[in-house]
Chains A and B, each alone.
Chain A
Amino acid sequence: MICGFQKRIAAFLVIGVALTTVSSAAAQVRAGLPRTADGRPDLQGIWQVRNRSAYDLEDHAARHGMPAGRSVVEGGTIPYQPWAAAKKLDNFANRATADPLAECYMPGVPRIMYMEFPFQIFQTRDHVAILFEWQQIYRLIYTNGSRPPEGIPFWMGDSRGRWEGDSLIVDVTNHNDRTWLDMAGNFHSDALRVTERYTMVDADTLDYEATIEDAKVFTRPWKIRIPLHRQKDMARVLEYQCRAELEEARGDFEPEPRTWYRQAPSAAAGGQEVPRESQAPPVTIAQPAAAVRPGSGQALRPGSGQARVPNLNGFYQADAGGANWGFEPHNEPFTPGGRGVLVDLPTLPYQPWAVEEKRTRNLPERGYDDPTAHCFVGGVPRAIYVPSPFHILQTPTHVVILHERMSWRIIPLGSHAPLPDTIRLWMGDSVGRWDGDRLVVETRNLNGKAWLNEVGDVISYAATIVERFTPTESNTMRYEATVTDPVVYTRSWTIAMPLRRDPKGELLEVACLEDNQDLQHLKEIRDAARARGAASGGR
């Protein structure tokens, strides 16, 4: 008895010492880590998983399309309740179609963190933003002590973080029950709670630990641990617009030869009418690469001398003047209240072919062709003036825009290695610079797939867009965008509108394609029109 008792005491002591060691290690401040100005580990950079967790969190043998991998689950296996273990097997059997990723739906948390796609972290005092290459989704982690909204489920959950020593702890709540944990069909319910712990082991290794609790599905909380590695051989995160690529491949989103960039401009089929030489000449932005720290105050206008550039951080909504339903003044029954946003012209200066293109885009059967009806990203500048807010994060080296309609822009300040002509993006390739208090952003390499608004104003791959964000009052900026697109327009034109910052505003998630019921309806309208056209001898 005594012997057993002593053993127990000894065991308690050992556990106690171990716990003390662990907790002091967590709180301990590691040397040799990159740090932000406020002393936190600087998590910024491009990261990616190297192991096989994306396929299956548990030990798994290889199958076609699924390389073998070891378990990252503490204890080896996921503690499912019996009914849930059966459902997991069912998910596995049907994974080719049942996996939400088969439709490019948002992967949820933690799954997005260990998919085989890079992500880039940006960090300010109040936020840590994670921007994923995959489908251009992001997570905005609040580290300002705020609380999640009640009663709203999200695909990506709600993330509120805090620092414990050198570890970032993130409570991820408000999950829906539609995401999976990996390709093998491991799953959860809407009772899911995820507690993440991000700990930098060294400058290039991030220890990712997630505790998963879900009383509806599991018998107890369980933990995964996955190293993330700095992607040193990748200078930037590009776009992988999974859904747009899927619909193009399926033939559900059809090319527009006059506005889309085509890899081989000399290709005989179709004929790109305007020669590439007519593109605007490259504009050189000369600016020293030196990083500029944003002002410490919250005001958009710089403070009394100490802040060198305005602090743009925050939640914004454009006072858009109905730009998403037309740039000219308009007041039609279904597009009311447009005050007109063109600055220097009464109407858009279209080339003749584009006048006709815009007219047909307004026919009911072409409502289907608007990329935003498919829930693809809005592009530049449209993402600013769609009726959804956005959040700006500003670091010394970047301005990042997170759009509520799930897309992001990373705008490097000053130095920038432009993309080659052949790499075209929905959101383009942007570079910014400070011109006094004004942020000037130039964007090129657009793919020409976006529309400018719902009434079908046209923009092409040849466009160069110069945006100016000019602070005017404490929480207001004047936004201007000058579009030069010789394929579509006879001259440059400019739109302008105020952007209003709401210090209390927070982004909600727009799960657009995940819940899009309009598209099938618009397709029926288009198909009926095509059938009528075919019946009457034309198309």
Chain B
Amino acid sequence: MTVRRRMGARVQGWSGAIVRSVFGLAMLMVVDLPARAHHSFSAEFDINKPIKLTGTITEVRWSNPHSWIYIDVKDDSGKVVNWAFEMQPANALYRRGWRPADVAAGTVVTVEGWASRSGSPTANTNTVMLSDGRRLFAGAPPAEGGAR
């Protein structure tokens, strides 16, 4: 199952007893699926357009029914485009203990997801990774031993 495989890969990169202790909890709580909660996912995003982009966080909007992370991505010509990635609802992140202060603008992240059908720089993601491979918004927050 996809969920378990991804979780396993992530946890191998971590260390520390706290991380191991929260792993069981995280297994129960992480929903490693596209963040679709109030609208048809396939209406908005295209499963045939997987994307992976690296850029700098400009803003994280903590909101329901979806949170959004905005990142500046430089294309091949050097032009910077601000991409919007739809994520899980803020309430799902809050219930895992994440708070806005845990994620700072300016952080470099790699985001994987599925691009919009509309062709705009918009996509859906559940995988936001720091350069060392740790994941933001997944599992427990930094205060509980997770990634910062």
Contacts and interface: CB of A to CB of B under 8 A. Distances in A.
Contact of B40 (A149, A454, A512): A454
B21 interface: no
Contacts of B43: 363-368, 522, 525
A510 B91 contact: yes
Contacts of B38: 372-373, 375, 386, 405, 512, 518
A364 B36 contact: no
A134 to B, nearest CB: 20
Given A373-B38, A373-B39, A454-B36, A518 B91 contact: no
Interface in A363-392: 363-368, 370, 372-373, 375, 386-388
Interface in A483-539: 508-512, 514-519, 521-522, 524-525, 528
B106 interface: no
Contacts of B116: 521
A404 B91 CA distance: 10
Contact of B42 (A149, A334, A405): A334
A521 B122 contact: yes
Q: Which of A363, A387, A405, A518 has the most CB of B within 10 A?
A: A518
Contacts of B65: 375, 405, 510, 512, 515-516, 518
B95 interface: yes
A47 B44 CA distance: 43
A257 to B, nearest CB: 22
Interface residues of A, number: 46
A271 interface: no
A370 B94 CA distance: 27
Contacts of B63: 511, 514-515, 517
B126 to A, nearest CB: 12
B39 A367 contact: yes
B62 to A, nearest CB: 8
Contacts of A372: 38-39
Contacts of B33: 336-337
Nearest to A515: B63
Dominant secondary structure of chain A at its interface with chain B: loop
A455 interface: yes
Contacts of A405: 38, 65
B28 interface: no
B37 interface: yes
Q: Which of B38, B64, B95 has the most CB of A within 10 A?
A: B38
Contacts of A332: 42
Contacts of A305: none
Interface in A304-351: 325, 332-337
A366 B38 CA distance: 14
A500 to B, nearest CB: 13
Interface string B66-77: 101000000000
Contacts of A388: 37, 89, 91
B44 A510 contact: no
A206 B53 CA distance: 57
Given A516-B65, A525-B118, A508 B94 contact: yes
Contacts of B36: 325, 334, 454
Nearest to B124: A334
B128 to A, nearest CB: 17
A454 B39 contact: yes
Nearest to A365: B43
A205 B114 CA distance: 56
Interface string A395-432: 00000000011000000000000000000000000000
Nearest to A324: B37
A300 B94 CA distance: 28
B101 interface: yes
Contact of A367 (B40, B91, B94): B40
A456 B94 CA distance: 30
Contacts of B84: 517
A185 to B, nearest CB: 24
A367 B120 CA distance: 17
A199 B24 CA distance: 48
A415 B20 CA distance: 55
Interface in A51-88: none
Contacts of A375: 38, 65
B64 A515 contact: yes
Nearest to B45: A334
Nearest to B42: A334
A281 interface: no
A150 to B, nearest CB: 8
A512 B64 contact: yes
8 A-B pairs closest in CB distance:
A367-B43, A515-B63, A373-B39, A367-B40, A510-B64, A334-B41, A151-B99, A364-B43
17 contacts: A325-B36, A332-B42, A334-B41, A362-B40, A364-B117, A367-B44, A375-B65, A388-B89, A388-B91, A508-B91, A510-B64, A510-B89, A518-B39, A522-B43, A524-B118, A524-B120, A525-B44
Interface of B: 33-34, 36-45, 47, 61, 63-66, 68, 84, 86, 89, 91, 94-95, 99-101, 116-118, 120, 122
Given A334-B34, A510-B64, A525-B117, 10 more contacts: A334-B41, A334-B47, A362-B40, A387-B37, A405-B38, A517-B61, A518-B65, A518-B86, A521-B116, A521-B120
